[in-house]
Amino acid sequence: MSYRKIILHKGKEQSLQRFHPWVFSGAIKVMDSDMKDGEVVEIYSANDQFLGMAHYQKGSISGRVLSYRKATIDTTFWIQKIQKAFDYRRFLNLTDNPHTNVYRLLFGEGDGLPGLVLDYYAGHVVFQAHSIGMHMQRQDICLALQEVLKDRLLSVYDKSSETLPSQYAAGIQNGLLWGKAEDEVIVKENDAQFYIDWIHGQKTGFFIDQRDNRELVGKYASGKRVLNTFSYTGGFSVYAGLKGATAVHSVDSSAKAVDFCNRNAVLNNISNHEGFAVDTFDFLKEKATEYDLVILDPPAFAKSRDVKHNAVIGYKRLNEMALRKIKKGGILFTFSCSQVIDKYLFYNTITAAAIEARRNIKLLHFLSQPADHTIVPTFPEGEYLKGLAFYVD
């Protein structure tokens, strides 16, 4: 199989040699004029040194490296890559765990496949392509999943219409790629149970990235009045309820999410749960109640560098309002999934909020994403979830 070539400007090979997998458009010196979006190409340095195999896509990131060695990108290639991702999850004790059957099977650049996310829900894999090249390869990826997962695989559902750039998403329909469709599945995460609806739910259906942090909240929840804001389907709420919280209040602006949250509470036999379909800011302003433990897990306030400053103001305001609601001796769990806000900026922002709210806080934990949301040092952009737990005086 022969692939067409992209040649980089002198000096622009360095990031690839350090295994950072992106080729920016400005780095390209020569390429064919009719290069097709999604096609597999070979990348070369200005002095003709082979650098990698990549998916080409017009845009500021024009190349996403799939392999730093010459390779034929065929079914065998996909099987090897997905096997590697699976073996890592097996090492993490996620693949055959009687207590947990929901995990991220493959996380893009962290697992050497930029543009691809695969989430596993008790046998059902939700496929999300972020690049058109990955989407074009969905059938091969599907075959590889069958080969690697064998009878652990029941279905594969393509949910790429929300993650592909808009010019490609327009012509694409979400739908079943393989296996038997199922309307709703119940998964287990550390023995807590959740209904998952990947077709209508947000992202791939569940925020798998909070697994470890939910477990930690569970450890502090006993005997506490808990407020879980931006609760979605109630991940944190269920753990708090199961671990003996005296009351659990969930707040989300989406009525559909609150419905799910209530159903998940019932599914886990939690009787002291109440859901509120309101804006978190309004809830914190208007509701007079105090809480022992408050969780803040908002959607990304900054989706790009340009709005970083506004995001910092948003995080500060939200955390200040929450800190005022926490009883003396209480706990705040606060998160940011904005990639452009790094952990130190986030820490400083919460510190500023505490000063404004006139509360003394003590750092209990620096939190991050779990290991199946793979972080590699060669791709720092992959570290996006930050959390802090504070004791609040």
Give the binding site for ligand SAH (CB under 6 A): 202, 207, 210, 230-233, 235-236, 251-254, 257, 279-281, 297-299
Sheet strand arrangement including 326-336: 273-276, 247-251, 225-229, 291-296, 326-336, 386-392, 361-367
Considering the complex, state which of residue 255 and residue 363 has its C-beta at the smaller distance from ligand SAH: 255
- Minimum Å gap between C-beta 318 and ligand SAH is 9
- Minimum Å gap between C-beta 210 and ligand SAH is 4
Q: 52 forms bridges with which residues in the sheet? A: 43
Task: Name the residue among 368, 352, 364, 356 with its Cα closest to residue 392.
Answer: 364
Residue nearest ligand SAH (C-beta atom): 235
- Minimum Å gap between C-beta 44 and ligand SAH is 42
Considering the complex, state which of residue 15 and residue 233 has its C-beta at the smaller distance from ligand SAH: 233
Place of tokens 């970083």: 308
Rounded distance between C-alpha atoms, residue 250 and residue 277, angstroms: 8
Considering the complex, state which of residue 67 and residue 210 has its C-beta at the smaller distance from ligand SAH: 210
160, 198 contact by CB (below 8 A): no
Which amino acid is present at 344? Y
- Minimum Å gap between C-beta 160 and ligand SAH is 20
Considering the complex, state which of residue 45 and residue 250 has its C-beta at the smaller distance from ligand SAH: 250
Considering the complex, state which of residue 111 and residue 252 has its C-beta at the smaller distance from ligand SAH: 252
Rounded distance between C-alpha atoms, residue 181 and residue 108, angstroms: 25
Which amino acid is present at 64? R
- Minimum Å gap between C-beta 62 and ligand SAH is 31
- Minimum Å gap between C-beta 253 and ligand SAH is 4
Considering the complex, state which of residue 193 and residue 253 has its C-beta at the smaller distance from ligand SAH: 253
217, 190 contact by CB (below 8 A): no
Which amino acid is present at 308? K
Structure tokens at 97: 């765990």
- Minimum Å gap between C-beta 251 and ligand SAH is 6
Considering the complex, state which of residue 62 and residue 231 has its C-beta at the smaller distance from ligand SAH: 231
Task: Name the residue among 177, 147, 153 with its Cα closest to residue 83.
Answer: 147
Rounded distance between C-alpha atoms, residue 115 and residue 9, angstroms: 24
